[in-house]
Amino acid sequence: MSANDDAASPTDPDVPAAEREYIRAHSGLSAPFDSTPADYERLTEETRLRIAATQMSVAEVADLLGMDEDRVRQSVEDPDLLGLVMLTPQVDLRQSTAGPLLTPLKWLADGGDPEVVWEILTQDRMW
């Protein structure tokens, strides 16, 4: 028995309409409740390829931070995730307390301190 065996189906009348609508709007599929496992596998692969195509290299990140590429590789837990993290909004990057979360790339483009980004990249935590 899997963890989802007891979960309600999205088409179950007990699932609130707002939740069903959220799934429709954010699943990436035109008909998520009628989709097959193959549809979800295709969507997953398309998403993986899209992320890989936009991900920054370690060299690009090092250049943005004004650092040596080897130092960047040695200092971060998983250098392969750097490019993805650079495009992910971070709680620590805001121009004001009420402002939106910024990605490290946007933070740097707006003239933010590269040291702040470096601290985020080298923190001992999951991104």
Supply the pLDDT for residue 10.
54
Domain spans of the chain, in order of start: 17-53, 56-122
Supply the pLDDT for residue 4.
46
Task: Give Cα separations from 37 to 6, 28, 100, 110 (angstroms).
Answer: 19, 14, 36, 42
Do residues 123 and 90 make contact, with C-beta atoms less than 8 angstroms apart?
no
Task: Give Cα separations from 17 to 11, 13, 33 (angstroms).
Answer: 9, 8, 13
Do residues 19 and 27 make contact, with C-beta atoms less than 8 angstroms apart?
no
Is the entire prediction scored with pTM above 0.75? no
Supply the pLDDT for residue 78.
81
Supply the pLDDT for residue 127.
45
Tokens (6 digits) for 126: 């999951």
The closest alpha carbon to 32, from 16, 47, 43, 18, belongs to 43
Supply the pLDDT for residue 12.
62
Q: How many CB atoms lie within 10 A of CB 1?
A: 5
Supply the pLDDT for residue 30.
81
Averaged over successive runs of 10 residues, the pLDDT of the chain (127 residues) comes to 48 77 83 85 84 81 90 84 84 87 92 92 64
